Amino acid sequence: MLRVPEERFPRRDPAALAGFMAFCRDEARRDGRPRLGSISLEVPHIDPLAVLQSIYAPDELHFYLEKPSVGEAIAGADAVESGTFAGAQRFSAVRDWASEVQSRLIAIGDLDTPRAGPHFFVGFAFADEPGPGGVFAPATVFLPRWQVAASQGRYVAVANVRVTPDTDVDALAARVRAAHAKFSAFPYAATAATAESATPTAIAETGGTGWFEAAVTDALARIRAGAYRKIVLARALDLTHATPFLPLDALNHLRERFPACFGFSLANGRGQSFIGATPELLARLQGRNLLTEALAGSAPRGATASADAQLGRALLSRTKDMHEHQVVLEAIVRRLNNLGLTDVTAEHARLLLLPNVQHLWSPVSATLPPSLHLLDVLATLHPTPAVGGQPRQAARPDIARLERFDRGLYAGTVGWFDHRGDGEFVVAIRSALMDGPRARLFAGAGIVEGSVPADEKAETDLKLAALLEALR
């Protein structure tokens, strides 16, 4: 990416912006390749989810990721460049695609503001190949036309525009000026309140009743036979409603209820959105500092402080849950070591408290060498034993055999990376696929020696209840 110094166009006025666009056009004329001009401006307070809700269009790609408890949020809409990929090399294919796009990027503006500059938004499905009836590709990546972010108490708006050798730079500059003026004092669209109930008219277990407990029993037999140490099995509920669900409204309910989780949304531009509130970070890279985590083992929350503490203490001492957590932690550390990272540090399990459930959680950190990209880490970690199994080569075929639906983006990963290589990806669990008046809700549980089918179903019931509540 070429960064244009502020001194080149020191005045932030229409003439300077048109001059920058003309510079991008000249670069496009030089070798006949279109250029991508990226303009970042720091703005007053802005809420990325509210902005996305105001400009939401079902026929456009969009992306959103937020962790309300730390004041971090980013959203992007409408693709100026996009790509889809499949196959075992899909992570490296996205990396190579982004590298080519970056070679045509020319950026200017407040690039030292947190979350400024062009960002690539990505969704990786659970599987390398598309499943039957899948609505998302195994890998989707796009550079948005419009991007807004909040980070460290500061706010930024970014416009990314395509500039060809024959672009009308004055007209393009006028559109960018209008957009930035709008984002500087965003006129959030008013939404009319409705008394209509969002309670679904029908709720059905995907695959029928009783199959999940039978699948857990089958998996336990395979574990005792030595096929694998752990497998994660998921359930899905199919919901229908008289009118279309509003995915971003549901997402707002989720962020209000689960501020310590990562709220996310990825739309495919054909009317379907995948939303959720996940507690699980897959990988975050800032500078060369890499952070990931092991999250496995669950218990309900108590109605009183004493009951809650008792449940938490029991979780920390329960053999089945500590074993499940250790399987995940050991696999993550081993995979990072296999990637060549030599300073991997894993912390002891502690409790992660959410409004409806508590988990065993261990942060894992390391230093990523310059020779590796964040996407190389994702390719190594995905799927972790927290959503797949261990060994994953043995567990993944049984997931496909035992489950009654295609996972799609469920248990995949969604996130972003920027022009510096920094980025953040989360595990797409506690999630729902929204498609007009239909929605499919997903939740899973880890099966290890000592699991009880009825208990595992109860765990998934608890996770699905939070999603049902958000849709109501």
The DSSP line for 125-194 is: -SSSSPPTT-SS-SEEEEEEEEEEEEETTEEEEEEEEEE-TT--HHHHHHHHHHHHHHHHT--PPP----
The yes-or-no answer on residue 456 being catalytic is: no
The yes-or-no answer on residue 280 being catalytic is: yes
The whole-angstrom separation of Cα 369 and Cα 288 is 7
Are the CB atoms for 300 and 462 separated by under 8 Å?
yes
The whole-angstrom separation of Cα 61 and Cα 65 is 14
Please list the residues that pair with 393 across neighbouring strands: none
Q: Indicate which residue of 67, 230, 403, 459 is catalytic.
A: 230
- Using only the alpha carbons of the chain, give its radius of gyration: 23
Can you say whether the dihedral through the CA atoms of 60, 427, 286, 390 is positive or negative?
negative
Q: Indicate which residue of 27, 60, 81, 280 is catalytic.
A: 280
End-to-end CA distance of the chain: 45
Q: C-alpha distances in angstroms, 436 versus 58, 105, 241, 322?
A: 10, 36, 9, 41
- DSSP H or E run through 91: helix 90-102
Helix, strand, coil fractions of the chain, as percent rounded to 5: 35, 35, 35
Residue with tokens 């408290």: 353
Active site residues: 230, 280
